[in-house]
Amino acid sequence: MERMVRKQIYITVAEDAFIKAEAASRRVAEADVIREAIDAMQIEQEQAQRRVKAWAEIEAVIEEGMKLAGSRAQAWKWDREELYEERIGRYGTARVAEDPESYRPGGDR
């Protein structure tokens, strides 16, 4: 067990009643209730600091992505003809393009 330090504090009557009731319902000392509350505050503060750091990292990634997107904006522009040329180059010509008059929807030739 860690070494304890004695502290004398002033609390309101309502706070005292709450601590007494909480300690009685849990069957622990009032000091335990106070220590657990302090521990919970420390944990919450540490988690809040981690969340702030994580959001800063996320924002940095987003900003970097936006910079990259801005530098490649021209590469993303296309027109319909370029798109079809790329598709035909990848998959070959469609049957319609080969012989439009003999094409029947559904695959019948």
Backbone region of residue 9 per phi and psi (left: phi > 0; alpha: psi in -120 to 50; beta: other values): beta
Q: What is the mean pLDDT of residues 35-53?
A: 96
Q: What's the CA gap between 35 and 41, in Å, rounded?
A: 10
Q: What's the CA gap between 92 and 106, in Å, rounded?
A: 19
Q: What is the mean pLDDT of residues 29-49?
A: 96
Tell me how many domains the chain contains. Answer: 1
Residue 106 resides in a domain: no
Residue 93 resides in a domain: yes
Q: pLDDT per residue over 82-92, tens digit each?
A: 777 777 777 77
Residue 21 resides in a domain: yes
Backbone region of residue 27 per phi and psi (left: phi > 0; alpha: psi in -120 to 50; beta: other values): left
Residue 39 resides in a domain: yes
What mean pLDDT is reported for the chain? Answer: 83
pTM above 0.85, yes or no: no
Query: Which domain covers residue 36, as residue numbers?
Result: 13-98
Asked whether residue 71 carries a pLDDT value surpassing 60, the answer given is yes
